[in-house]
């Protein structure tokens, strides 16, 4: 009975779920005398709670300025544009 149970347990084995790994984008430093911001905007759903963020680094990778804030309810396209606008204002 125990042997039959052990043999049947191998039939219950399920392959572990394979997770997709996030693509890691390499940061490329800015050239001298050039401003470079990396920005992002996102929302929860097509029209949902949204936020923007951005960072400015010098050519050595040192953080000079950053921002992160909630912007209310909007879609993800609008948040991307708003993040760019905020970076230009700074």
CATH of the domain at 83: 3.30.420.10
What pTM, to 2 d.p., does this model score? 0.65
Indicate whether 80 belongs to any domain: yes
- Identify the band that residue 13 occupies on the pLDDT scale cut at 50, 70 and 90: low
pLDDT the model gives residue 21: 63
Is the pLDDT assigned to residue 41 strictly greater than 70? yes
The total number of structural domains that make up the chain? 1
The answer to whether 54 and 39 are in contact (CB under 8 A) is: yes
Indicate whether 32 belongs to any domain: yes
- Determine which helix (DSSP H) or strand (DSSP E) holds 81, and give its type and residue range: helix 76-89
Indicate whether 15 belongs to any domain: no
Indicate whether 66 belongs to any domain: yes
| Average pLDDT of the segment spanning 66-72 | 94
Q: From CA 50, how far away is CA 79, in angstroms rounded?
A: 7
pLDDT the model gives residue 5: 47
- Structural domain including 82 reads 26-89
Indicate whether 76 belongs to any domain: yes
- Identify the band that residue 86 occupies on the pLDDT scale cut at 50, 70 and 90: very high
């Amino acid at each position: 009975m125990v042997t039959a149970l052990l043999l049947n347990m191998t039939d219950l084995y399920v392959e572990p779920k394979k997770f997709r790994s996030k693509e890691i984008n390499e940061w490329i430093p800015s050239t001298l005398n050039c401003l470079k911001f990396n920005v992002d905007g996102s929302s929860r759903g097509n029209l949902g709670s949204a936020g923007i963020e951005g960072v400015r680094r010098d050519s050595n990778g040192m953080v000079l300025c950053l921002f992160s804030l909630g912007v209310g309810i909007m879609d993800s396209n609008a948040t991307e544009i708003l993040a760019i606008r905020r970076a230009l204002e700074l």
